[in-house]
Amino acid sequence: MTANRQGKKRFFAICIFFFMWIFMIAFRLFDLQVLNYATYKAKVKAQTHRVEELHSKRGTITDRNGEILAISLQSKSAFISNKDNAHSLAVFNKFCARLPLSGAQKVAIAKRIRRGEKFIWLKRKLTDEEYQKVLPLASSAETAGAIDFLDEYRRVYPQKRLASHVLGGVGIDEQALGGIETSLDAEIKGRGGRLKVLIDARKRIFQFNYLEQPVPGRDIHLSIDADLQFFVERELAATVEKYQAAGGAVIVIDSRSGEVLAMASNPDYDPEAIWNTPQAVLKNKAISFLYDPGSTFKIVLAASALENRACGRQETFDCHNGVYTIHNRQITDVHPFASLSFDDIIVQSSNIGAAQVGLRLGGEKYFRTIDNFGFGRRTGIRLPAEENGILHPVQEWSAVSLAFLSFGYEIAVTPLQMAAAFNVPASGGFYVRPEILRLDASSAAPERPRVLSADCGELLTEIMTSVVSRGTGKQAGIGGLEIAGKTGTARKIKAGRYVASYVSSFGGFFPARDPRVTMFVVIDEPKGMYYGGDVAAPVFKTIAEKIMLHLGIFPGLPAQNEIVL
């Protein structure tokens, strides 16, 4: 009896233990498959599934004639499928032997391999030459299965540095980094796709599935003429080098439509290496360089005086023999004059004469003209980082502001704002907003507010033509071609004070009687000669000669040289 009882107790204890064990297993299965099903499913999915973002093909950017300026080409991106850390490191070393990487890249990739990551980019967007160098590794017996390739798009700029500030660039992940690539990124980039990478139990990548196919971006047609852009950039670079200047900008506009035919900023850069370019070089001086315009601004004064009939064209003003003091501030002229007519104040670029005209005109009327010419706000051109400029309201002007504003001080402008202002008389008195995109028949007609009467525009054009024929702008003259223009030389402000550094400029349009092209030239801090008539005007002339040939603008011959058949 005692033995039977002890046996029953043992059997009962074993049953209890067995049922507890079964219960624990059942509870664990219930916990895994019911209570925490979603959590563990997500863990398994994370270990076996990986989603890679794929970039769409960016739209092609062309010039006004269809010349390709930026295009996305299909290329291969190399990655490593890491099954064994030691083997993958050996394969990576062979990859580096064929395609050298930077020290930082090597360290970063080696760390990811040692951490056991399974999908690791080796190098993305290989050139054709690079792809051919590493392709044998994908089929080699020693490295097969470790290295593979995915198709991506690589942004290419066939014209190299041409129009770099207009175009901008993109990063390795197709993120826009300036220029039209940034301002129209939403249209150019299209819609990206997604790729699911499947990994088996042995941590091997065995399948790719597209979750979303990329949608390509829209093509963009710029108003830029690539041939003119090349001439402009070449002449600007030569002038900057000649005068050891800090840089410069040239803008060429179709006088009738406002389309920008060329926009150059120096120094330039390689759009394909934009991420390695210093921030100062990335700055597009044409739209973001702020400076006091100096005497080129006298065309705005003249326009305001003519429009408001503040004085007659032959009325003379006292120019105080080159030195004039107003409220303890001295105004000087480079070439002293006792007196000058209104026309000759502009033609000979007298600061003292301009101040006299400005004081006659009055602040309210002058400010209204400055505002109508578009100063103090962006032009609205579709490029990023355009500056507003600085124009203080009349209420904030000091006792000398009107006098100094009359010859282009106490105001900050951009070269593009000045180009648009010079285009007012060229367009018959209308403000035409500069446009960087090619206009076509389907484009809505841009708003063109009249800011100057047709008669006043013609009078201003006559005066500006005299600037080139007999005034400070003689070096911009081209035989047989009437050019209307104005020179400018302005001191720069540094640390709140005017210093002995200058900005030389020249703006104009041609042919003067039937304008087709408006151009503005700025050279920043030239060394040696610095007057606008000596530095910027010759650049205008050289580029204008190229434009004449390119657009078929032929100068007229003097009557004595005409050939009669």
- Specify the CATH number for the domain of residue 540: 3.40.710.10
Task: Kindly state whether residues 182 and 322 are assigned to the same domain.
Answer: no
Domain match, 217 and 230 both: no
> Is 312 part of any domain?
yes
Q: How far apart are CA 246 and CA 487, in angstroms?
A: 19
Domain shared by 274 and 344, yes or no: yes
| Integer Cα distance of 283 and 224 in angstroms | 19
> Between the CA of residue 376 and those of 286, 392, 404, what are the distances in Å?
16, 8, 17
Give the C-alpha separation, 139 to 118, whole Å.
19
CATH number at residue 203: 3.90.1310.10
For residues 393 and 372, what is the distance between their CA atoms, to the nearest angstrom?
Answer: 13
Q: Model pTM?
A: 0.84
pLDDT tens by residue, the chain, 565 residues: 565 667 677 777 777 777 777 877 777 667 666 665 566 555 545 555 566 566 678 999 999 999 999 999 888 888 887 777 888 888 888 888 888 888 888 888 888 888 888 788 888 888 888 888 888 887 776 766 678 887 888 899 999 999 999 999 998 888 899 999 999 999 998 887 776 766 655 555 555 566 777 788 999 999 999 999 999 999 999 999 999 999 999 999 999 999 999 999 999 999 999 988 999 999 999 999 999 999 999 999 999 999 999 999 999 999 999 999 999 999 999 999 999 999 999 999 999 999 999 999 999 999 999 999 999 999 999 999 999 999 999 999 999 999 999 999 999 999 999 999 999 999 999 999 999 999 876 666 677 999 999 999 999 999 999 999 999 999 999 998 999 999 999 999 888 888 989 999 999 999 999 999 999 999 999 999 999 999 999 999 999 999 999 998 877 645 444 444 3
For residue 405, what pLDDT is reported?
A: 98
Task: Give me the residue label for tokens 């010349």.
Answer: 67
Q: Are 345 and 317 in contact (CB under 8 A)?
A: yes
- Let me know the angle formed at the C-alpha of 110 by 104 and 115, rounded to the nearest 5 degrees: 130
Q: Which residues contact 134 (CB under 8 A, 6 or more apart)?
A: 78, 95, 98, 99, 126, 147
Instruction: Provide the domain count of the chain.
Output: 2
Pairwise CA distance, residues 264 & 394, whole Å: 34
Are 166 and 235 part of one and the same domain? no
Q: Is 6 within a domain?
A: no
- pLDDT in the model for residue 563: 40
Domain extent for 422 = 226-560
- What confidence score (pLDDT) does residue 143 get? 67
Q: Which of 222, 238, 258 is the last residue of a domain?
A: 222
Compute the distance between CA of residue 73 and CA of residue 158 in angstroms, rounded to an integer: 11
Which of 193, 222, 251 is the C-terminal boundary of a domain? 222
Q: Are residues 353 and 212 in the same domain?
A: no
Q: Which of 171, 190, 222 lies at the terminal end of a domain, its last residue?
A: 222
Q: CA 174, 180, 184, 190 torsion: positive or negative?
A: negative
Instruction: Please give the pLDDT value at position 531.
Output: 97
- Co-location of 208 and 245 in the same domain: no
